[in-house]
Amino acid sequence: MLSFVAQRVLKGVIVLLAIVVLNFFLIRLAPGDPAVVMAGEAGASDQVFVKQLREKFGLDKPLPEQLFIYVKGVVTLDLGFSFRQQAPVAKLIGERLPATLLLTLTAFAISLMLGVLFGTFAARFAGTFLDTAITVFALIFYAMPIFWVALMGILLFSVTMDWLPSFGYETVGANLTGLAHAVDVAKHLIMPAMTLGLFFMATYTRMTRASMLEVKRLDFVKTARAKGLSDAVIQRRHVLRNALLPVVTLAGVHSGTLIGGAVITETVFAWPGIGRLMYDALLQRDYNLLLGVFVICSAMVLIFNLITDLVYRLVDPRIEFAS
């Protein structure tokens, strides 16, 4: 297993480097550079000034040289400096990463748990009213855009009912500590995490349902029944476990999509995470910061995928670690 992990990590590093190079050129395809943006904000037109800015940012050097400097930095774990925010990129990302991890992991956990739960119920009671209700709701949540769900959530739970805060990570100025702080953050987390998780929950519900119905028809389930096992044990130990494989695959693939969805969720709920940082960096053509966020996100996706592969093995012992 160790050699399997080592091999995957090595492959991951190569993929990451390829992503860095690709992103480097991709970003520069967008018109406008940081010097143009900053001169624009200053509301002034002075060629010497813009030239100075370009020199300061190192944008006057030939593109391959800029790439070489950047890759050299990444290899030595230096993500560079954001001239725009006058701070090292690693520090800027470090400040935001915990909030994003909290949001995405909560959303992920909620969606997976509820999705599998609802899917199991739907499959168990296939063809009944409960099944239809779950399927219809799953379809609705699957089809609704995240930003719309978010806005409707705010309208209902913040404006009309005043149950949950509409924005932010914590109550600003409340200076809470300990448990009170944790409760405060949790209150702020509910809506963004649910919003982000609903789409995925819907997907897992449908996937679990379909997969369970398929497994249920297989011969080994009949055998289990013939052995006289109780229905609950059959469902849990034999059907669900086998039915989970496609769900795990999907969950692994979703790690990237989850971060994409976080950009929108963080924007609507003013959640101080990395998604919003990426969006601002893009608008301001903050190349180093944007590349830094991409590197971190890509690394996260690679790690998630590695975890997925490991979980496979746990769920289905028949799968060998290819070495």
Partner 1 sequence: MPKRVLLGLLLACGLAAPTLAQEPKTGGVINAVIQPEPPGLMLAMVQNGPTQMVSGNIFEGLLRYSPKLEPQPELAESWSVSEDAKTYTFKLRKGVTWHDGKPFTAADVLFSIEMLKQTHARARTNLAQVDKVEAPDDYTVVFTLKQPFGPFLGIFEVGSMPMVPKHLYEGTDWKTNPFNNAPVGTGPFMFKEWQKGSFIRLVKNPNYYEKGKPYLDEIYWQIIPDAAARSVAYETGKVDVLPGGSVENFDVPRLTKLKDTCVTGAGWEFFSPLAWLWLNNRQGPLADKRVRQAVMYAIDRDFAKDVIWNGLGKVATGPSASTIKYYTDDVKKYPYDPAKAKALLKEAGYKGEKIRLLPLAYGETWQRWGEAVKQNLMDVGINIETIATDVAGGNQKIGDWDYDIAFTYLYQYGDPALGVGRNYISSNIAKGQVFNNVEGYSNPEIDKLFADGAVATPDSKRKEIYEKAQKILVEDVPVAWMLELQFPTITRCKVKNLITTGIGVNDGFKDAWLDK
One-letter identity of residue 145:
P
Smallest distance from the beta carbon of 14 to partner 1, in angstroms?
Answer: 32
- Chain positions 22 to 41 lying near partner 1, rule: CB under 8 A, are 30-33, 36-41
CA distance 248 to 307: 10
Single residue of 211, 238, 276, 290 touching partner 1 by CB under 8 A: 276
**Binding-site member from 80, 165, 192, 252 for partner 1 (CB under 8 A):** 165
Q: Smallest gap, in angstroms, from Cβ of residue 193 to partner 1? A: 16
The answer to whether 246 and 317 are in contact (CB under 8 A) is: no
Of 138-146, 156-164, 179-187, 203-211: span binding partner 1 (CB under 8 A): 156-164
Tokens linked to 155: 């309208």
Size of the site for partner 1 (CB under 8 A): 61
Taking residues 66 to 85 in sequence order and writing x for each that binds partner 1 by CB under 8 A, - otherwise, the string is ---------------x-xxx
Binding segment (CB under 8 A) for partner 1, from list 106-114, 117-125, 205-213, 284-292: 284-292
Q: Is 272 in the site for partner 1 (CB under 8 A)?
A: yes
- Is the four-CA dihedral 209, 211, 214, 217 of positive or negative sign? negative
| Site map (CB under 8 A) of partner 1, residues 87-126, x = contact | x----x--xx--x---------------------------
Q: What are the phi and psi torsion angles at 81 (to 5°)?
A: -120, 135
Residue pair 6/281 in contact (Cβ under 8 Å)? The answer is: no
User: Which long-range CB contacts under 8 A does 52-57 form with residues at least 24 apart?
Assistant: 56/83, 57/33, 57/83, 57/287
